[in-house]
A and B are shown apart, each in its own frame.
Chain A
Amino acid sequence: MIKNGTRLQSQVCDTQVIVVRSADSLDDLRAGGAPMIPIGEEKSSDASLDPAFSDGTLMGKRYVDENGAEVLVTKAGVGSLSVGTTALTVKEAKPLPASD
């Protein structure tokens, strides 16, 4: 299982994430339809953005799947996040007042 705190990048857009809460499902984490790879690793030249996964990622949003996995977008991009072909959803947070 991928380690909490691992930083991943998309091969087909600018998206970068950090794994906040890992689950086995994240082994098949994709952005823009292509597998995400550790930051610094070389992107595959034949990967291309899948139009079905091109809604984009939002900077600073947390995305979750049904298995309890959670990733935080540290850089936004035009591809959207999925596990396999199941899209991740934005974790909606109740706004809290500033407290410190």
Chain B
Amino acid sequence: MSISLLLEMAASSDPDRTAVVSGDMRLTTGELSSLADGGAGVIAASGAQHVAYVGTGGVMLPLLLFSSARACVAVTPLNYRLSPDGLRELIDRLPTPLVIADAEYQDVVAGAGKQVISSDEFIESARTAEPSAEFPDPDDVAIVLFTSGTTSRPKAVELTHNNLTSYVTGTVEFGSASPDDAALICVPPYHIAGVGAALSNLYAGRKMVYLTKFHPSEWVRLVADEGITTATVVPTMLDRIVAALEATPAELPTLRNLAYGGSKVALPLVRKALQLMPGVGFVNAYGLTETSSTIAVLTPDDHRDALAASDDAVARRLGSVGQPVPGIEVQIRADDGTVLGPGETGELFVRGDQVSGRYAEIGSVLDAEGWFPTKDVAMLDESGYLFIGGRSDDTIIRGGENIAPAEIEDVLVEHPDVRACVVVGPEDPEWGQIIVAVVMPSQGASPDPDELREHVRKSLRGSRTPDRVVFRDELPATATGKVLRRELVDEFSRAREEQERSAAHARSRKD
């Protein structure tokens, strides 16, 4: 089915309900639906085969998702933080796009040689345009999202109408939200969680309140002012909210659920958040762009049970991503493809209608039985709880031994002097790769590298002890909290080459 139908159902069952609040703009489901019809007319009249959006989101995201669907073209929200060159490179990969940009990004896309209109112009024209409401084929691509490309060239993930509606109808009951429910959305529009939020909250009948430029105190203010009941944040946002609440305690009486995801959240932060917001149910959501958002959920009850557990196996689940959502099958496979049992670590494969696994220019990477290789290292426990141990590409091979950086990071981050850390494996002539721990110390702390190495050695095998510990004031990361490991590895490799060069230089001078 088409994503248009989600809006059609919402608008026909309750046209006067407030659907979107974004800055000064408030739209009912009925208004959103007529504006999307007009928007489809604007897109159809442009002759474009694709819609690209450069901006911070808010009402523009649901509006463009549904306008594009009703015009039967795919839409791509782009990362507005990219450089002008980076943006143009991605726009050039889209077929005859109409580029719609917020005012502040007009200059950036002006030189792209494409049809460009501003977000304000688009809304203005949509109000008066000849409406259009075509029905796309359910197997047509609805949304193309670029992966963040932290390790390689960004890949263009194609999500069909069926992928997205399978996710929404399979995980959300239509109209299940209470009339006073409100979701606070601060994940960026180019992220799959942003797309998921726009579709699933509309379908649940939950008012969507947008915070397009995240700031922790603004987030706390909006929770109070708009009576927010559910919210989703990426790890860096959770970290800043926790810091803000520690500095200035605030009541969040309406907030029932706070979901976190996007990348791994360190356990000390989860525990601190639980402690600071005792009345809030925490949700850990795990998913990939290629899986149309969430595929596993650690529920509020799971969090409470894990915290209260005396049984180690249950307590450990605080660090898991929970159980697969309905419609998703999971398998853990060894390198040779053998399916592994509970407790064994391998690569996570997933299958289900919401899984796309298809890229523009590359095609489908699903295997013959429809399984998608996530490239995530994972393990299932006896009760089917899923544990994610980082990207398989990040695995360090030191002296022939495979080492998952996540295993070391999980131990290191529990040290009181460590605020955040990342473990990388730059190349080394002797070991192949060595283990370097990059540590951002806690405020006021100046940890001793040997003490941190000892801390790891106490919990893990000796071969997992970092060869080096280096300190940084912050870790390079994307806006959604993915650490840019590649940057660190490159930096260390360059430093080593530099060292070798000067050593060779010194030798040649001695000769």
Q: A and B bound?
A: yes
In the assembled complex, the Cα of A94 lies from the Cα of B173 at a distance in Å of 9
Among A60, A94, A99, residue most surrounded by chain B Cβ atoms (within 10 Å): A99
Asked whether A72 lies within 8 Å of B8 as measured between CB atoms, the reply is no
CB distance from B283 to the nearest CB of A (A): 5
Q: Does B297 contact A (CB under 8 A)?
A: yes
Complex interface residues of chain B between 200 and 243 (CB less than 8 A to chain A): 200-201, 203-204, 206, 230, 232
B5 contacts A100, CB within 8 Å? no
- From A4, A75, A97, B300 is in contact (CB under 8 Å) with A97
Bound Cα distance from A70 to B12, whole angstroms:
22
* Interface bracket on A: 20 to 34
Q: Are B13 and A99 in contact (CB under 8 A)?
A: no
A96 adjacent to chain B (CB < 8 Å): yes
Q: B259 interface residue, CB < 8 Å from A?
A: yes
* CA A76 to CA B14, docked complex, whole Å: 13
B326 within 8 Å of A by Cβ? yes
CB of A74 within 8 A of chain B? yes
Cα of A69 to Cα of B1 in the assembled complex, Å = 15
Smallest CB separation, A17 vs chain B (Å): 11
* Interface 1/0 per residue, A11-46 and B, CB below 8 Å: 000000010100000000000000000000000000
- Residue of B1, B197, B261, B285 with highest tally of chain A CB at under 10 A: B1
Contact status A99-B297, CB under 8 Å:
yes
**With contact pairs A5-B162, A59-B174, A97-B259 given, residues A72 and B299 touching in the complex (Cβ less than 8 Å):** no
Residue B33 at the chain A interface, CB threshold 8 Å: no
B108 CB within 8 Å of chain A = no
Enumerate chain B residues within 8 angstroms of A96, measured Cβ to Cβ: 171-172, 297, 299, 325-326
Q: Which of A61, A95, A98 contacts B259 (CB 8 A)?
A: A98
Residues of B contacting A93 with CB < 8 Å? Answer: 173, 326
With a cutoff of 8 Å between Cβ atoms, the chain A residues found around residue B408 in the complex are: none
Taking a contact as CB atoms under 8 Å apart, the answer to whether B200 and A75 are in contact is: no
Report the minimal beta-carbon distance from A93 to chain B, rounded to whole angstroms: 6
B257 is an interface residue with CB less than 8 A from chain A: yes
A20 to B2, CA, bound (A): 11
Collect the chain B residues with CB atoms within 8 Å of residue A5's CB: 1-2, 137-138, 162
Task: Check if B183 is an interface residue, CB within 8 A of chain A.
Answer: yes
Within 8 A of B (CB), among A49-100: 59-62, 72, 74-76, 93-100
* Interchain CB contact under 8 A, A59 and B13: yes
Q: Are A100 and B196 in contact (CB under 8 A)?
A: yes
Q: Does B175 contact A (CB under 8 A)?
A: yes
Given contacts A4-B138, A59-B175, A74-B9, are A98 and B1 in contact (CB under 8 A)?
A: no
B169 interface residue per 8 A CB criterion: yes
Number of interface residues of B (CB under 8 A): 42
User: How far apart are A63's CB and chain B's nearest CB, in angstroms?
Assistant: 12
The smallest C-beta distance from B97 to any residue of chain A, in angstroms, reads 26
> In the complex the two chains form, what is the Cα distance from A93 to B169 in whole Å?
10
The CA of A99 and the CA of B162, in the complex, are separated in Å by 20
B15 within 8 A of A: no
Residues of A within 8 A of B283 (CB): 97-99
Do A75 and B12 form a contact, CB below 8 Å, given A94-B326, A95-B173, A98-B183? yes
A4 — nearest CB in chain B belongs to which residue? B138
Asked if B163 is an interface residue, CB under 8 A from chain A, the answer is no
B274 CB, min distance to chain A CBs, angstroms: 15
Write out the residue numbers on chain B whose beta carbons fall within 8 Å of the beta carbon of A99: 171, 196, 232, 259, 261, 283, 285, 293-294, 297
Report chain A residues within 8 Å CB of B8.
74
B187: interface (CB < 8 Å): yes
How many angstroms from the CA of A18 to the CA of B162 in the assembled complex? 12
Contact B172–A18 (Cβ < 8 Å) = no
CA distance A100 to B171 in the complex (A): 11
Within 8 Å of chain A (Cβ to Cβ): is B463? no
Q: Which residues of A contact B196 (CB under 8 A)?
A: 99-100
> How far is A74 from B297 in the complex, measured between Cα atoms in Å?
27
When C-beta atoms are compared, the residue in chain B nearest to A60 turns out to be B174
Cβ < 8 Å to A, chain B residues 338-380:
none
Interface residues of B (CB under 8 A from A): 1-2, 5, 8-9, 12-13, 137-138, 162, 169, 171-176, 183, 187, 193, 196-197, 200-201, 203-204, 206, 230, 232, 257, 259, 261, 281, 283, 285, 293-294, 297, 299-300, 325-326
Can you add 8 more A-B contacts, CB < 8 Å, to A60-B203, A96-B325? A5-B162, A60-B13, A60-B175, A95-B176, A96-B171, A97-B281, A97-B297, A99-B297
16 contacts between A and B (CB under 8 A): A59-B9, A59-B13, A59-B174, A60-B173, A76-B13, A95-B173, A96-B297, A97-B230, A97-B283, A98-B204, A98-B232, A99-B171, A99-B259, A99-B285, A99-B293, A100-B285
Mark A residues whose CB is within 8 Å of B.
4-5, 18, 20, 59-62, 72, 74-76, 93-100
